[in-house]
Structure 1
Amino acid sequence: MSAAPPTAVIEQHWKRNLAVCVIGAFTTIVAMTLLLPFLPLYVEHLGVSDAAAVVQWSGVAYGATFFSAALTAPLWGRLGDRYGRKLMLIRASLGMAIAMSLIGLAENIYQLVGLRLLAGLLGGYASGATILVATQTPKERSGWALGTLSSGIMAGNLAGPLIGGSLPPLIGIRNTFFLAGGVIFVTFLATLFLMKEAPRPKPKADAKATASRRPWELITDRKPVIAMFVVASLVMFSIMSIEPIITVYLTQLHTENVTFMAGLVMSATALASVLSASRIGKLADRIGHRKVVIGCLTAAATLLIPQAFVTNAWQLVALRFLMGVALGGLLPCIAAIIRHAVPDAVAGRMLGYSTSSQYVGQVLGPLTGGYLGGHFGMSIVFIVTCVLMGGCAMAMALMPRSMGN
C-alpha cells in the first residue's frame, strides 16, 4: 500500500498537532516567565546582598534567556527546514525541561545566569510551533489555527507571572522550577508521541535559486520593514525594562504579599493585550496599520508617566492594564505592515527577523531597567522608556503616509 500524500497527512493530523503546539507553547512560555515575580528574591537567596546589585543581576538573569535565543533562532530555523519542524520541537521541549530543572539547583548568581543562557539556547518551542502550524494546517483554516496558537502563547505570558507569584510561598522557589521542568517534560512526551508531521516535497530548481538570493535584494522599499523591526524591538523593551524591577518597586511601596502582587501587575499587561489584540487589529484593517501603530505608541508612552509616581500597587495594576491595551495592538500591526511591504518569497524570513528584533528588546529591556533602577531609582526607568516610545511615535509620524496603509 502506498504512503499517504502530504495533503492527506495534513488533513488527518493538523488538529491534533495544533492542540499539542498550543499546550507546548503555553507551558514553555509559562516556564520562561514564571520566575519574574520572585527573581529578585532568588538572586538575593543566591548571595547577592546589595540592593542595587540585586536589581541589576535580576535584569541580567532574565535577559540572558532572550539573548541566547536571539543568537540561535536562525540556526534552529535552518535546521528545521532541513530536518523537520517536529524534531526541533522535540529538541526545544526536552532542552527546556532539563534547563528549568537545573535552574532550581543553582547555587550562585553565575550559575543562574549561565542556566538562563542555556534555556534560551535550547528553547524556541513557541516560534517553532508557529512555523509548524503555518505549514501543516490546511490553508483555509490556517488563520484560525495561528490565532488559536497565538492565544495560547499570550495566555502563557498571562499565567506565568501569576503562577510564579503563587507557587513559591506554597512549595518553595526551587521546587517551583522542578515542577515547571516536569510539566515541560510532559510536553516533550506529547510532542514525541502525538505529533505527526507531513513530509515536505523536495524544492524545485527555481525555488532553490530564489532561496539562495539574499532576501533584502527582493525588497523594493526597505524603510517600512526596518522601521517595524525597530518598533518590534521597542515594544518588548518597553515591557521588559519594567517587569524585572516591579518586585523591588512594590517593596518600596510597602506592598503586602509582594510576589503575588508582582505577578498580578505583570499579568495585567498580558491580559489586556489578549483582550485588545484582535479588536485593534480589525480597527487597523479599516483605518490603516500605520495610524494604529502611531496611536498605540503614543498611548503607551503617555501611560508610562503616571507609573513612575504611583503610591500603591493597585494603581500600578490599573496603569499596566491600560498600557497592555495599547501594546496589544502593536505586534499584529507590525506583522501586517511587514507582510504588505515584502514579496511572498521572503515574508517568512522577514517575519523571523521581526521575532529576532523582539528578542533584542527582551534582552536590552531587563539590562537597561536593572541598571537604571539599581543606580538612579525606579522612577527613571519609566521616564526613559516613555521618551523612547514617544520618540519612536514621532519618527513614525514623519515617515511617508503610504506606509502601512
Structure 2
Amino acid sequence: MNNTDSVKLPTGWHKTFITLWAGCFITGLGYSMTMPFISLFMEQLGNYSKFQINLYSGLAFAMTFIAQAIISPYWGNLADRKGRKLMCMRAAGVMSLTIFITGLAQSAIFIICMRFLQGLFSGYINNATALMAGETPHQRSGWVMSQMMTAGTAGNLVGPLLGGALSSAFGYRIPFFITGGLMFMVFLGTLFLTKEDFTPIPAKKMKPMKRIMQELPDLRLIIIMFITTMIVQSSTMSIDPIVSLYVKSLMPHSHSVALVAGIVAATPGLGTMLAASKIGHLMDNVGAKKVLRWGLLVATILFIPMTLIANAWSLAFWRFLLGIASAALLPAAQTILTLNVPPEAFGRIFSYNQSFQAIGSVLGSLLGSLISGIFTYQWVFAATGAILLVNLIIVLFDRRKNIIKD
C-alpha cells in the first residue's frame, strides 16, 4: 500500500471531491462537445474564405482566454477573501447562460463576442482545483491534482464523440443548448453538495501580493511553473482550433468529417485519463518536478511524427500518445505550486497561473490559426513541438542551476 493512502482526509472531503470532479467533467464535456466544431458551425453562418474561417476560429478560441487573462487576478483576490466555492458557482452559473446563448448565434462575430463574455466569468476547473488543493493533505496532492485533470480530460474524451454525433444528426446548435443545461446542473451541485473549510478574510487583513511573492521560499520556481503552464497550454491550443479543419483536409470527400474529427479530438483525453492515476501516484513517490521533465521530453518527441501523418487515423494514434504524456504536464506544474504556496495565497497564485494558462491559450490558438491559414496544417505541429522544446530547455537549464530540485 502506498504510504499516502492512509492519510486522513477532512470530514465531507469525498462528497466535495466527487461533486467537483463531476463538475470538472461536465465542464470539459461541454467545452469539447462544442469547440472542436465551432469552425464548422461558423462556416454555415456566412460566406467566409479559408483565411477568414481560420482567423475567426482562432479568435473564437482566443477571446475567452484573453478575457480570462485580464480578469483572473481580480477573481483570485476575491477567492482568497470569499472562498473558492463561490468562484465555482459564479463560473458555472454564467457559463450556463453564455453557452446556451451562443447556440442562437447568427454570425461568426456574435460567437466571438459571446466567447469573450464567457471568458470574463469562466474558470470552474481552475477554481475547483484550487479548492481541492486547499482541502487536501500535501501527501496526496499529486494524486488529487491528477484526478482533477482526469475529470476535465474524461469530459474531453466523451465530449467530441457526443458533440460529433449530435452535430451530425441535429446540427451544430444543439450541443450548445445541451451544454448550457448541464452547466446549470453543475451550479446547483456545487451550491448544495460541496463543503469548503474557509474563513472569510477581510480585505484589510489580506497580505499584499508583493509581500506574498517576497515570502515564497522559491519565487523563481513559481515563475518557472507559470511559464510552463503557459507553454504547455499553448501547445494544446495551437491544435484544437484547427483539428476539425485538418481532418476535413485529410478526408475531403467524406460525409462523416464531424464524427471522425470528434474521435481525433477525443484521443488525447483517452490517453490522459488512462495514465493520470498512475502518474499522480508517481508524482507523490518520486516528485512532481522529475515527472514534469520527462513529460516535456516525451511530448516534444511525439510532435515529430505528427508532422508526417497522411490520414486522420494516424493523427488520432499520435494524439493518443500525446495525451499520455500530457498527464505529466499541467498536473505536475499544479502540484509544484500547491506544495510551494501558503494556503492563504492559493486563490491569487492559482489565478495568476490561470492567467498564464489563458495567455498560452491565446498565443496557441492564434499561432495555430495563422500558421495553418498561411502555410499548411503540418507546420502547426512543427511549431508546437519547437515551443515545447523551448520549455524543456528552460526546465533543464534551471535544473543545472539547482533551481528545480527533487
User: TM-score, normalized by length of structure 2?
Assistant: 0.86
Q: Note the alpha carbon deviations across 1:299-333, whole angstroms, 9 max, x for none.
A: 22221122122111111011111111222111232
Q: Secondary structure at the match of 1:382?
A: helix
CA distance in 2, matches of 1:332, 1:234: 14
**Inter-CA distance 404–277: structure 2 relative to 1 (3 Å threshold):** farther
Separation in structure 2 between the aligned mates of residue 53 and residue 230 of structure 1, nearest angstrom: 30
Please state if 1:275 is matched with 2:271: no
TM-superposed deviation, 1:337: 3.5
Q: Mapping of 1:204-215 within 5 angstroms? A: 208=205, 210=207, 214-215=211-212
| Conserved 8 A contact 2:145-2:280 | no
Partner of 1:43: 42
Q: Give distance in 2, aligned partners of 1:199 and 1:77.
A: 17
Per the TM alignment, residue 230 of structure 1 is displaced from its structure 2 partner at its CA by 1.4
Question: Which letter does structure 2 place at the counterpart of 1:195?
Answer: L
The answer for the alignment partner of 1:334 in structure 2 is 333
Match of 1:3 in 2: none
CA contact 2:154–2:273 (8 Å) conserved in 1? yes
Cα displacement string for residues 147-201 of structure 1 (whole angstroms, at most 9, x for unaligned residues): 5544322222222222222211122211221121122222223334x23646744
Inter-CA distance 161–222: structure 2 relative to 1 (3 Å threshold): same
Aligned to 1:253: 250
Residue type of the alignment partner of 2:164:
G
Q: Given that residues 136 and 197 in structure 1 are in contact (C-alpha distance below 8 angstroms), is that contact kept between their aligned partners in structure 2? A: no
Deviations 1:88-129 (A, max 9, x none): 333222211110111011111111100011111122222222
Give me the whole-angstrom Cα distance separating, in 1, the residues matched to 2:199 and 2:329.
35
Cα distance, 1:46 vs. partner? 1.6
State the match for 2:114 in structure 1: 115
- 1:206-225 equivalent positions in 2, closer than 5 A: 208=205, 210=207, 214-219=211-216, 221-225=218-222
Between 1:41-50 and 1:329-338, the stretch displaced more is 329-338
**Mapped partners of 1:143, 1:221: distance in 2:** 19
Aligned to 1:165: 164
Structure 2: any 5+ residue segments left out of the alignment?
1-9
* Residue aligning to 1:5: none
Cα distance in 2 for partners of 1:374, 1:103 equals: 25
SS at match of 2:65: helix
User: What is the rounded CA distance, in whole Å, between the counterparts of 2:136 and 2:225 in structure 1?
Assistant: 27
Separation (CA, whole Å) in 2 of partners of 1:300 and 1:334: 15
Provide the C-alpha distance between the structure 2 equivalents of 1:367 and 1:94, rounded to a whole number of angstroms. 28
Shift of 1:280: 3.3
Aligned-residue CA RMSD (Å): 2.9
Alignment-derived partner of residue 228 in structure 1 = 225
Q: 1:295 to 1:218 in 2, by over 3 A?
A: same
**1:31 — aligned with what?**
30
Cα distance in 2 for residues equivalent to 1:153 and 1:35: 14
Which whole-Å deviations, capped at 9, do the CAs of 1:331-366 have from their partners, x for residues lacking one? 232234444555666466434422322221112111
Cα distance in structure 2, aligned partners of 1:202 and 1:89: 16
Contact 2:68 2:119 (8 Å CA) reproduced: yes
Match of 1:6 in 2: none
Matched, 1:79 2:92: no
For residue 4 of structure 2, what is the aligned residue in structure 1? none
Q: Is the 8 A contact 2:227 2:356 kept in 1?
A: yes
Provide TM-score, normalisation by structure 1.
0.86
Q: 1:88 to 1:314 in 2, by over 3 A?
A: same
Task: Report the count of equivalent residues.
Answer: 393
User: Separation in 1 of the partners of 2:363 and 2:109?
Assistant: 19
The structure with more radius of gyration: 1
Could you tell me which amino acid in structure 1 is paired with residue 229 of structure 2? A
Question: Aligned pair 1:300/2:299, yes or no?
Answer: yes
Q: Spell out, residue by residue over 1:120-140, the C-alpha distance to the aligned partner (whole angstroms, 9 max, x if none).
A: 112222222233344457889
Mean Cα deviation higher: 54-63 or 75-84: 75-84
Tell whether 2:266 aligns with 1:264: no
CA distance in 1 between counterparts of 2:13 and 2:341 reads 28
Change in Cα spacing, 1:53 to 1:26, as seen in structure 2 (3 Å) is: same
Range with greater deviation from structure 2 (376-385 or 137-146): 137-146
CA contact (8 A) 1:37 1:247 kept: yes
Query: Structure 1 stretches of 5 or more lacking a match?
Result: 1-9
Paired position in structure 2 for 1:404: 405
Q: Secondary structure at the match of 1:399?
A: helix
Q: Which amino acid aligns with 1:171?
A: F
Provide the residue aligned with 1:369 in structure 2: 368
8 Å Cα contact 1:64-1:113 kept in structure 2: yes
